[in-house]
């Protein structure tokens, strides 16, 4: 019977420790790269996206998905008010209107290009039409976003937010974490 040869037997303890440390550093560097350039996490404080995202939750944002495809209606997105991804400037809302569409809200009902859009699956009662009351025509790179709790939401109905330019979109929210036991994928 032949003896089996194990590669680790020929090396000393120092060599094995050095190899293990190198592997740990490579994994840590890869994790930092993914966290910095592909994903972003942000904390929420407002009630604007309840019940989808509860206040004091952390959300994880896919930063590359919209470089490959355009945002779709009802996506939950993160965007910046100021063009930076500083956590205090990041807002989370749901895409309702797409580029080139006219969005109008009348008496709490959302209309896209004159056709009623059923948002009841995602949002609670809309009590304010805001600047969308007269209709808002979106440009070729603009999106209309709405909070899931419109009564507590500063969103595209507000003149301080308005239509969101695609350049301000940070990414798509895909996970929310309230605590170690409360993880939820976002649809």
Beta-bridge mates of residue 109: 106
Domains of the chain: 40-185 (2.10.109.10)
For 58, phi then psi, to 5°, come to: -105, 135
- Range scoring the smallest mean pLDDT among 45-49, 63-67, 103-107: 45-49
Q: What is the mean pLDDT of residues 131-151?
A: 93
The H or E element spanning position 42 is strand 39-43
The H or E element spanning position 16 is helix 13-33
- pLDDT band of residue 175 (cuts 50, 70, 90) is confident
pTM of the model: 0.77
- Range scoring the smallest mean pLDDT among 29-38, 50-59, 109-118, 149-158: 29-38
């Amino acid at each position: 019977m032949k003896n089996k040869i194990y590669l680790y037997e020929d090396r000393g303890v120092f060599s094995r420790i050095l190899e293990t440390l190198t592997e740990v550093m490579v994994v840590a560097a890869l994790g930092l790269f993914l966290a910095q350039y592909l994903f972003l996490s942000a904390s929420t404080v407002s009630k604007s996206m309840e019940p989808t995202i509860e206040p004091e939750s952390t959300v994880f944002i896919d930063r590359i998905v919209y470089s490959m495809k355009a945002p779709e209606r009802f996506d939950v997105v993160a965007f910046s008010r100021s063009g930076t991804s500083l956590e205090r400037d990041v807002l989370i809302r749901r895409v309702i209107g797409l580029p080139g569409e006219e969005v109008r809200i009348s008496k709490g009902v959302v209309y896209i290009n004159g056709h009623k859009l059923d948002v009841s699956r995602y949002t609670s009662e809309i009590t304010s039409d805001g600047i969308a009351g007269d209709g808002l025509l979106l440009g070729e790179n603009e999106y209309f976003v709405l909070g899931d709790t419109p009564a507590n939401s500063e969103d595209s109905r507000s003149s301080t937010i308005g239509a969101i330019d695609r350049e301000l979109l940070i990414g798509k929210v895909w996970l929310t974490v309230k605590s170690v036991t409360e993880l939820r994928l976002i649809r």
